[in-house]
Copies of this chain bind each other. A is one copy, B any other.
Amino acid sequence: MLNERQKKILLAVTQSHIDLNIPIGSLLLIKRYPLNLSSATIRNAMASLEQMGYITQPHTSAGRVPTEKGYKFYVNSLLEDHPLSISDSMSYELSLRLKSTENDSNGVIKKAAKTLSLLSHNLAIAIPPKIEDMVLKHVKFIKYDKRKALSMLISDEGIVKNTFVELDKSYTQQELDKAAHYINSNFAGKQIKDVKEILSYQLIKDQEAYDRIVTSVLYLFNDYIIMDDDILSLNSFSGTSYLPDLVDSQQVKDILRAIEDKQFMLKLLNQLSGSKGIKVVVGLESIIPAMSKMSMVAATYNDDKRSGGAIGIIGPTCMNYKKLIPIVDHTAKALTRILSEN
């Protein structure tokens, strides 16, 4: 366990490292923070902190740099102590930028990612709500070919997803309408996961209760909403240009490659699932190998009523958490507000 002095020094070292991005020595530290301690005392404390794994030396005769453990301690103390407030001008700029001409939810979410990257000067990510959690508003099937229909799903949040589905035989538009109507009148207002459950249950139980056509289309619909991972293609990144600042060129390449990969998104999602509000992940290399020395600050958006997505930033571990955590927090809240207004 850390004593009061060690805590103070650890926080001071971390803050200095964030501000200056260089290893912090004992002399430099007392110059920046009037701790009323001599450099020798600081050095003793630093030696203990190093032994406990909170800080480390890049080489002998260099200052200390916080480790992942050190950063985690710093971030936790930040989240406990500070109210997540941002300046009025920032708040104003945020709502101004988000209140754009975009009128569909996908657009708003993308716009939020773009705004976040501009305000934070970091890579921003926006993850749409899981399709499972979305509330079905409307379904439509449109005949396209002899054996193909365009299936369209609108959620309560105003998110639209369309996919072409292969049909087992040729249906008329009227038949498709009938099936869609059945789905709409029975499932509108329900979460997709509930729709799934009820559908598969009913399809097994009372197959004979419905029209032959409705049954077939329901089967198709069932298949279609099961394969939901392509909703991930809706995710958006913005601000890749902010990446190359602090890391070497090979790592930038690796990160860019990772970002284009869907697996990456799934892993991030996984990391965020279940959490509410702001979440800081210090050190992403355990999730994505390319992202060593990088951290994520993310927050879920949408309230309890609606299915939540996540929005956040990815940047160097030595990012300015004090400034960025509130920005992410407020962006997520602003996004929630705008989506609920729609």
Cα distance, A342 to B238, chains bound together (Å): 33
Is A256 engaged at the interface, CB distance under 8 Å to the other chain? yes
Is A103 engaged at the interface, CB distance under 8 Å to the other chain? yes
Number of copies of this kind of chain in the complex: 2
Q: What band does the interface of chain A fall in when counting residues whose beta carbon is under 8 Å from B?
A: 20 to 34
A: which residues have CB within 8 A of B?
103-104, 114, 137-138, 140, 142, 144, 148, 150, 152, 154, 158, 160, 162-164, 166, 238-244, 249, 252-254, 256-257, 259-260
CB distance from A176 to the nearest CB of B (A): 12
List the B side residues contacting A242 at CB < 8 Å. Answer: 253
CB distance from A100 to the nearest CB of B (A): 12
- Interface of A, secondary structure class, is mixed
Q: Are A249 and B244 in contact (CB under 8 A)?
A: yes
List the B side residues contacting A104 at CB < 8 Å. Answer: 162-164
Q: Are B244 and A260 in contact (CB under 8 A)?
A: no
Of the residues B114, B162, B239, B241, contact of A162 by C-beta under 8 Å: B162
A-B contact pairs, 24 of them (CB 8 A): A103-B163, A103-B164, A137-B144, A138-B144, A140-B142, A142-B152, A144-B154, A152-B152, A152-B162, A158-B164, A160-B162, A162-B162, A238-B260, A240-B240, A240-B260, A241-B254, A241-B257, A242-B253, A243-B256, A244-B244, A244-B252, A244-B256, A249-B249, A252-B252
